[in-house]
Amino acid sequence: MISAEKIPNNVNLSSNKRLQRALEHWQPKYIQWWRDMGPQGFQDYHHVYVRTAISVDPEGWAHFEYVKLPEYRWGIFLADPTPDRRIGFGDFFGQPVWQEVPGEFRNQLRRLIVTQGDTEPASVEQQRLLGRRCPSLYDLRNLFQVNVEEGRHLWAMVYLLHSYFGRDGRDEAEELLERQSGNRDKPRILEAFNEPIDNWLDFFMFTMFTDRDGKSQLMSLSESSLDPLSRTTRFMLTEEAHHMFVGETGIARILERTCQLMKQAGYSEDVRTVGGIDIPTIQKHLNQWFSLSLDLHGSEVSSNAASYFANGLKGRAKEDTFDEHIVKNAYYNMEFFEDGKPVTKDVLMRNAMNEVLRDWYVGDCAAGVVRWNRILEAHGMSDRLALPDRKFHRGIGMYSGFHFDPNGVPLTAEQWEKRKYDWLPSEADSEYLLSIMAEPVYEPGRFANYIAPPRRGVNQQPVDFEYVRTEQ
Ligand code: BYC
Ligand code: FE
Ligand code: FE
């Protein structure tokens, strides 16, 4: 029996029998999926100090306790409704938002919700082996916090599918548990979510850059004319902030430690000889996850995006900061690549909405890289990290199928093949990273050699708190 006790919620679940039955049917499959595809080796005997959302107000957020992962209380929360909310952009600008799904937009909305929903369990699958290589109990706990919240994001999308899409929605909810990250026959929908995350450098880059695509997509969905979608995604954004915190501070702590080790080893010495992660390797992983996450914003010119905007389904990040919201006769000056040369052309702004969101995303990423570089600067290092050019290593959109170096200089296929591992992680880099992560660190307060401790612990607990306990 599903109760508010078992599934914390602010959608009055107990008064909606039909929805309750649908979720009751889905929940055991979800738990089975979590056991099979969630954190491997940490299902039965580990108690994790996690926060559980029990309401949308700030106090509801601060609820910390030890739980066994499969017993986490995944809840359903919508941000409070905005009174008299109006559609903020597109052809229906100014009309009241929708509380139900209009028939003519049913397919488009379902597709957006399924695509969003698919990424959440995918990321849990990608990260399932990391626990056994953790650099500390503090990091292990953060990994699981991210994992349970991604699980909750899946619940959020399944709630929408079950509530507003009838039979089709129920089928889609099942399929969300059937596709699998990296599976040849039933892969996840978007490419970045089929890439392996084997080591903690990948994990931190993923939470920095790919969770940040989560932020930009959720910001644009939170503008939606479908009010329940807007309210669900608004609440998800508060969790996303924590995921990016984990990524940004994780890399910051690696940089800190790399600088320390470089000084010990002598500046010219290869920091790998003392077990650290060298800056070129960090840069390669940045290149990898930034470029994969650029792809997640879709093609530069997209009629899908134009239609989503026209119908008010998906807006721009911070739509209310734009002067004009109908955007019918506006143009975006876009760079194209023709016969090996860049040329700029005007594209109808509505068709360029993916690129508009990508612009916002690149700016948000760049600010994070500036913060990282301050660490290198403070240590007197001359090295700096940088975002690669947008054209570098693209698999979606007009640059896919061509080759560019990180400065955006075009390359032949032959030049690319020769040099790609100067810019992307090689097999040897992965092997090195796995070698320094082979032994997990489970002792409270101890940290792997390649990463500095955090400034402070979680929820005002000390850094050497036992964030994950083992009990038989
Ligand atoms: N990989 O017009 P196009 C998150 C397909 S992350 C594979 O370019 P559109 C999270 C596309 O489906 C946020 N295929 O694209 C982060 C289409 O296929 P069809 C996730 C791709 O539709 C970390 C074709 O290419 N949320 O939450 O304008 C951890 C041409 O389409 C890709 C969302 O994505 C790709 N990268 O835009 C956990 C929001 N890109 O029609 C969670 C919902 C495109 O030819 N999704 N294709 O079969 C959307 O808004 C849009 O679907 C996209 C694509 C922005 C992704
Ligand atoms: Fe998420
Ligand atoms: Fe996330």
**393-424 burial string, b = 16+ CB within 10 Å, else e?**
bbebbbbeeebbbbeeebbeeeebeeeeeebb
- Tell me which residue has its CA closest to atom 22 in ligand 1: 304
- Tell me which residue has its CA closest to atom 10 in ligand 1: 214
Is the separation of the CB atoms in 290 and 387 below 8 Å?
yes
Question: DSSP E strands: which ranges in 61-178?
Answer: 64-68
Using most ligand atoms within 8 A of CB, pick from 108, 304, 360 the residue to mutate for ligand 1.
304
8-state DSSP, 9: B
Kindly report the CA angle at 177 between 172 and 178, in degrees rounded to 5? 90
Is the separation of the CB atoms in 215 and 308 below 8 Å?
no
Using most ligand atoms within 8 A of CB, pick from 238, 239, 299 the residue to mutate for ligand 1.
299
Tokens of 57: 């107000």
Q: What backbone phi and psi angles, to 5 degrees, belong to 310? A: -55, -40
Tell me whether residue 342 is exposed, middle or buried, using C-beta atoms within 10 angstroms of its C-beta: 0 to 12, 13 to 18, 19 or more: exposed
Look at residues 183, 189, 182, 34 and name the one whose alpha carbon lies nearest to residue 110. 189
CA atoms lying within 13 Å on the CB side of residue 316: 24
What is the per-residue pLDDT for 268? Answer: 59
One digit per residue, pLDDT tens: the chain, 472 residues?
A: 556 667 889 999 989 999 999 999 999 999 999 999 999 999 999 999 999 888 888 777 778 999 999 999 999 999 999 999 999 999 999 999 999 999 999 999 999 999 999 999 999 999 999 999 999 999 999 999 999 999 999 999 999 999 999 999 999 999 999 999 999 999 999 999 999 999 999 999 999 999 999 999 999 999 999 999 999 999 999 999 999 999 999 999 999 999 999 998 876 568 999 999 999 999 999 999 999 999 999 999 999 999 999 999 999 999 999 999 999 999 999 999 888 888 999 999 999 999 999 999 999 999 999 999 999 999 999 999 999 999 999 999 999 999 999 999 999 999 999 999 999 999 999 999 999 999 999 999 999 999 999 999 999 999 999 999 997 6
Those residues whose C-beta lies under 8 Å from the C-beta of residue 338, and which sit 6 or more positions away, are none
Question: Residue 116 C-alpha to ligand 2 middle, in angstroms?
Answer: 8
Tokens of 213: 């695509």
**What domains are defined for the chain?**
13-470 (1.10.620.20)
Which amino acid does the sequence have at 385? L
Tell me whether residue 335 is exposed, middle or buried, using C-beta atoms within 10 angstroms of its C-beta: 0 to 12, 13 to 18, 19 or more: middle
Give the closest ligand to the alpha carbon of residue 244: 3
| First-residue to last-residue Cα distance in the chain | 28
Question: Residue 124 C-alpha to ligand 3 middle, in angstroms?
Answer: 10
Residues with CB under 6 Å of ligand 1 are: 112, 115-116, 119-120, 123, 150, 190-191, 210-211, 213-214, 217, 295-299, 302, 304-305, 314, 354, 396
Question: Following DSSP, what letter does each residue of 257-317 receive, concatenated?
Answer: HHHHHHHHH-TTS-GGGGT---HHHHHHHHHHHHHHHHHTT--SS-HHHHHHHHTTSS--T
Question: Residue 236 C-alpha to ligand 2 middle, in angstroms?
Answer: 7
The Cα 255–Cα 276 span in angstroms is 9
Give the closest ligand to the alpha carbon of residue 240: 3
Atom of ligand 1 nearest to the CA of 150: 38
Give Cα 368 distance to the centre of its chain: 15
**What's this model's pTM, rounded to 2 decimal places?**
0.97
Question: Residue 149 C-alpha to ligand 2 middle, in angstroms?
Answer: 7
Kindly report the CA angle at 16 between 12 and 19, in degrees rounded to 5? 110
- Tell me which residue has its CA closest to atom 15 in ligand 1: 298
Question: Residue 205 C-alpha to ligand 1 middle, in angstroms?
Answer: 20
Which amino acid does the sequence have at 299? S
Mapped to the 3 state alphabet, what secondary structure does 184-238 carry? CCCCCCCHHHHCCCCCHHHHHHHHHHHHHHHHHHHHHHCCCCEHHHHHHHHHHHH
- Tell me which residue has its CA closest to atom 45 in ligand 1: 304
| Bridge partner residues of 49 (DSSP) | 66
Tokens of 140: 């292990």
Look at residues 115, 120, 168, 167 and name the one whose alpha carbon lies nearest to residue 147. 120
Question: Residue 222 C-alpha to ligand 3 middle, in angstroms?
Answer: 15
